[in-house]
C-alpha cells in the first residue's frame, strides 16, 4: 500500500479500529471470537444446525486433533498441550504410566486426574443458531470432543451395508449437523445430535468459494510453537507436583471441560477452580466421561509402549 493510499483510507481505518477496540473491550476475558459454541434455552436444552467445512486452503485435513493436560497439584495448575499430539514422548504421560502401574489405588486415582483430554477443531458454517441468529451464515471454529467425532466417523464409515457413507466435510455432498443438547444430571449430553440428509451448502460456486476463503487455519493448533519442549514440560510438572519452584496463577476456559454444567453455560473465562477430591468441580471431572478418552485403555496402551 502506498502512502497516498494510507492517507485516502485513514478515515475508514479509524472506523475499523474503533469497531475492533469495542469488540476487544466487550470480549469476556479475551475469549477467542473465532470460536462458536451452542447455548441452552430456558428449559435447559440446546439446538443449533451447523455445517462442517472442507480443509482450509493449503491444508490437508478438515480437523485438528489436540491432546492436553489440565490438573492441579500442590504447586499450582498444570495446563499444557501434550507432546503425544505430535507423536512424541511426553513426561506427563510417562509419569501417569508409572502411577498407573505402581499397584496402588492412590496412584490410579492421581493418574486419572492427570490424564490427557482430547479435543478436535473444525471450521463450520452456522446454519441455524436460535440463541444468536446474527451468527447464521458466518464461518467459525468449533471445538468438540470424542462424542461428536464418533458421530462424524459413523457418518463417513457406517457399520451396515445398507448405509451410504457421507463425506460430511464436502460442500456439495455433505450434510448439516443438528446439534441437540439435553441437560442430564447437570451436564450437557449430545447423544440426540444427528446428521441430516446430504445436501449442497449452495448451488452457487462463487458463494461457496467465498465461504471457503473465510475459513481459519487448523494447522496452527498443532504447530510446534504451540508445544513446550520435553524438558520444559518436565520442569513445569515438577513445579506443579511441589518438587521444585513455586506456584503460578493460571486461567482456564469452561470449554476445556465439556460437557458444561447448565450453571456454566454462559460462562466465559474463569479462574481455575479447585479440583481437590472433595470439591464440586472435581466431581464434575470425575463424571465427565462423555467427551474424554477411556482411562483404562489409554493407560494400558501407555504401559505397552
- 274-298 pLDDT per residue, tens: 333 334 333 333 334 334 433 334 4
CB-CB contact of 189 with 181 (8 Å): yes
Confidence check: pLDDT of 258 > 80? no
Mean pLDDT across 192-217: 97
Q: How confident is the model at residue 32 (pLDDT cuts 50, 70, 90)?
A: confident
pLDDT, tens only, 76-107: 999 999 999 999 999 999 999 999 999 899 99
Q: What's the alpha-carbon Rg for the chain, to the nearest Å?
A: 22
pLDDT for position 73: 94
Tell me how far apart the alpha carbons of residues 212 and 182 are, in angstroms, rounded to a whole number: 32
Enter the pTM of the model. 0.71
In angstroms, what CA-CA distances link 47 with 42, 44, 126, 178, 268?
12, 10, 12, 7, 20
Tell me how far apart the alpha carbons of residues 11 and 75 are, in angstroms, rounded to a whole number: 51
179, β-bridge pairs: 48
Q: How confident is the model at residue 115 (pLDDT cuts 50, 70, 90)?
A: very high
Tell me how far apart the alpha carbons of residues 157 and 40 are, in angstroms, rounded to a whole number: 30
Nearest to 114 by CA among 250, 293, 278, 265: 293
pLDDT, tens only, 123-163: 999 999 999 999 999 999 999 999 999 999 999 999 999 99
Nearest to 116 by CA among 283, 295, 305, 297: 295
Mean pLDDT across 202-227: 96
Confidence check: pLDDT of 75 > 90? yes
Helices 91-100 and 105-114, axial angle in degrees (round to 10): 150
Q: What is the DSSP letter of 29?
A: G
Tell me how far apart the alpha carbons of residues 303 and 298 are, in angstroms, rounded to a whole number: 9
What one-character-per-residue DSSP string does 76-144 give?
EEEEEE-GGGGT---HHHHHHHHHHTSS-HHHHHHHHHH--EEEEEEEEEEEE-TT-GGGTT-EEEEEE
What one-character-per-residue DSSP string does 169-238 give?
T-TTT---EEEEEEEETTEEE-TT-EE-----S-S-HHHHHHHHHTPPPSGGGG-GGGS--HHHHHHHHH
Tell me how far apart the alpha carbons of residues 225 and 203 are, in angstroms, rounded to a whole number: 40
Domain 31-305 sits in CATH at 3.90.198.10
pLDDT for position 14: 63
| H or E stretch covering 67 | strand 64-73
Of the listed ranges 189-193, 225-229, 252-256, the least confidently predicted one is 252-256
Domain definitions of the chain by residue range: 31-305
Average pLDDT in the chain: 80
Tell me how far apart the alpha carbons of residues 184 and 44 are, in angstroms, rounded to a whole number: 9
In angstroms, the first-to-last Cα distance of the chain is: 55
**Residue found under cell 440428509:** 197
Grid cell, residue 292, equals 474424554
Amino acid at each position: 500500500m502506498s502512502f497516498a493510499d494510507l492517507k485516502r483510507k485513514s478515515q475508514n481505518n479509524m472506523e475499523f479500529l474503533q469497531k475492533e477496540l469495542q469488540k476487544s473491550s466487550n470480549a469476556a476475558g479475551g475469549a477467542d471470537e473465532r470460536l462458536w459454541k451452542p447455548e441452552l434455552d430456558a428449559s435447559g436444552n440446546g439446538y443449533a444446525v451447523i455445517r462442517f467445512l472442507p480443509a482450509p486452503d493449503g491444508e490437508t485435513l478438515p480437523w485438528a486433533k489436540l491432546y492436553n493436560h489440565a490438573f492441579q497439584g500442590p504447586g499450582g495448575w498444570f495446563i499444557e498441550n501434550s507432546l503425544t499430539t505430535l507423536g512424541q514422548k511426553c513426561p506427563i504421560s510417562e509419569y501417569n504410566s508409572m502411577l498407573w502401574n505402581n499397584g496402588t489405588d492412590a496412584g490410579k486415582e492421581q493418574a486419572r486426574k492427570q490424564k490427557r483430554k482430547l479435543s478436535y477443531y473444525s471450521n463450520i458454517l452456522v446454519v441455524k443458531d436460535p440463541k444468536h441468529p446474527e451468527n447464521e451464515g458466518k464461518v467459525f471454529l468449533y471445538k468438540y470432543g470424542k462424542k461428536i467425532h464418533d458421530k462424524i466417523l459413523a457418518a463417513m464409515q457406517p457399520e451396515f451395508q445398507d448405509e451410504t457413507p457421507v463425506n460430511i466435510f464436502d460442500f456439495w455432498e455433505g450434510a448439516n449437523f443438528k446439534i441437540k443438547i439435553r441437560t442430564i444430571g447437570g451436564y450437557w449430553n449430545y447423544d440426540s445430535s444427528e446428521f441430516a440428509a446430504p445436501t449442497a451448502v449452495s448451488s452457487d460456486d462463487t458463494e461457496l468459494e467465498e465461504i471457503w476463503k473465510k475459513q481459519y487455519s487448523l494447522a496452527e493448533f498443532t504447530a510446534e510453537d504451540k508445544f513446550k519442549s520435553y524438558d520444559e514440560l518436565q520442569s513445569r510438572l515438577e513445579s506443579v507436583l511441589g518438587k521444585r519452584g513455586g506456584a503460578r496463577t493460571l486461567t482456564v476456559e469452561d470449554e476445556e471441560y465439556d460437557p458444561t454444567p447448565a450453571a456454566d453455560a454462559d460462562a466465559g473465562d474463569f479462574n481455575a477452580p479447585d479440583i481437590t477430591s472433595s470439591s464440586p468441580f472435581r466431581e464434575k471431572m470425575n463424571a465427565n466421561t462423555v467427551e474424554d478418552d477411556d482411562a483404562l485403555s489409554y493407560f494400558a496402551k501407555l504401559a505397552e509402549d
